[in-house]
């Protein structure tokens, strides 16, 4: 939406890249079927309007809501971006993704990260730390089934 989620994704990949292969996709460019070949998914979602999934991700979100079995095989973690000025709906964009993934039977590999745009903190540093922990946990338990993408 404003590019913050994409920027964080790039920062995480730059920090952790090295030996591991990451694929950065903008939600607006992803077809639901493409997730079939993915094992480990990190969703970085901002929040829009009244706590909703932002426009660029909405089509994908709705397609997956209609066919949640496409998500069952996934191992996932979520970063949710919000602004604490919006008390009631703070960082709810990511919550919707977690509810969707949980309901589909996917496995959450790491607790979600909530980032507050109004906090005077270094979002990149926090996200990279979190992602490091997520990665360590995911590697400790290699996905047992098909090839990793």
Partner 1 sequence: MSVAIVGSGPAGFYCADMLSKALPRQAIHIFERLPLPFGLVRYGVAPDHPGTKAVTRLFERVMQRPQLRFFGNVALGRDLDLRDLEQAYTVVILATGAGIGQKISCPGVEQAPGICGIDLSAHFNGKPVRPESLPRRAQSICIVGNGNVSLDAARLLAKPEAELLACGVPQALLDWRAGLGLREIHVCGRRGIADTRFSSVELEELTQLADFHPVVDARDVRDVHDQAGTNQDAAAILGRWAGAGNSGRRPIRFHFDQGIEAWRDGALLTRGRDGVPQAIPAQMIVHAIGQRGEAIPGVPFDPESGRIPNVNGLVRGKERTFVAGWAASVAGGQIALSRQSAQALLPAILAHFPEHVVS
List residues binding partner 1 (CB under 8 A): 1-4, 7, 50, 54-55, 82-86, 89, 116-118, 120, 123
**2 vs 102, which CB is nearer to partner 1?**
2
Nearest to 108 by CA among 67, 84, 83, 77: 77
Task: Report the C-alpha gap between 68 and 102 in whole angstroms.
Answer: 10
Task: Report the C-alpha gap between 3 and 6 in whole angstroms.
Answer: 5
**88 vs 147, which CB is nearer to partner 1?**
88
Cβ atoms of residues 51 and 94 within 8 Å: no
Q: Other CB atoms closer than 10 Å to residue 29's CB: what's the count? A: 9
Give min distance, CB of 111 to partner 1, in A: 22
Give min distance, CB of 148 to partner 1, in A: 24
Cβ atoms of residues 100 and 89 within 8 Å: no
Give min distance, CB of 22 to partner 1, in A: 18
Place of tokens 């939600």: 27
Give min distance, CB of 71 to partner 1, in A: 26
Give min distance, CB of 98 to partner 1, in A: 21
**56 vs 68, which CB is nearer to partner 1?**
56
**66 vs 85, which CB is nearer to partner 1?**
85
Cα torsion 114, 125, 9, 21 to 10°: value is -120
**22 vs 86, which CB is nearer to partner 1?**
86
């Amino acid at each position: 939406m404003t590019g913050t989620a994409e920027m964080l994704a790039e920062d995480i990949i730059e920090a952790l890249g090295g030996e591991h292969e990451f694929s950065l996709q903008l939600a607006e460019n992803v077809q639901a079927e493409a997730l079939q070949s993915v094992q480990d998914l990190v969703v970085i979602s901002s929040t829009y309007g009244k706590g909703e999934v932002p426009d660029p991700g909405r089509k994908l979100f709705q397609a997956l809501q209609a066919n949640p079995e496409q998500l069952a095989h996934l191992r996932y973690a979520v970063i949710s971006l919000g602004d604490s000025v919006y008390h009631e709906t703070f960082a709810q964009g990511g919550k919707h993704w977690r509810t969707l993934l949980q309901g589909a039977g996917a496995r959450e590999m790491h607790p979600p990260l909530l980032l507050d745009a109004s906090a005077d903190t270094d979002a990149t540093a926090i996200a990279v730390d979190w992602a490091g922990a997520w990665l360590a946990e995911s590697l400790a338990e290699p996905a047992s089934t098909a090839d990793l993408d």
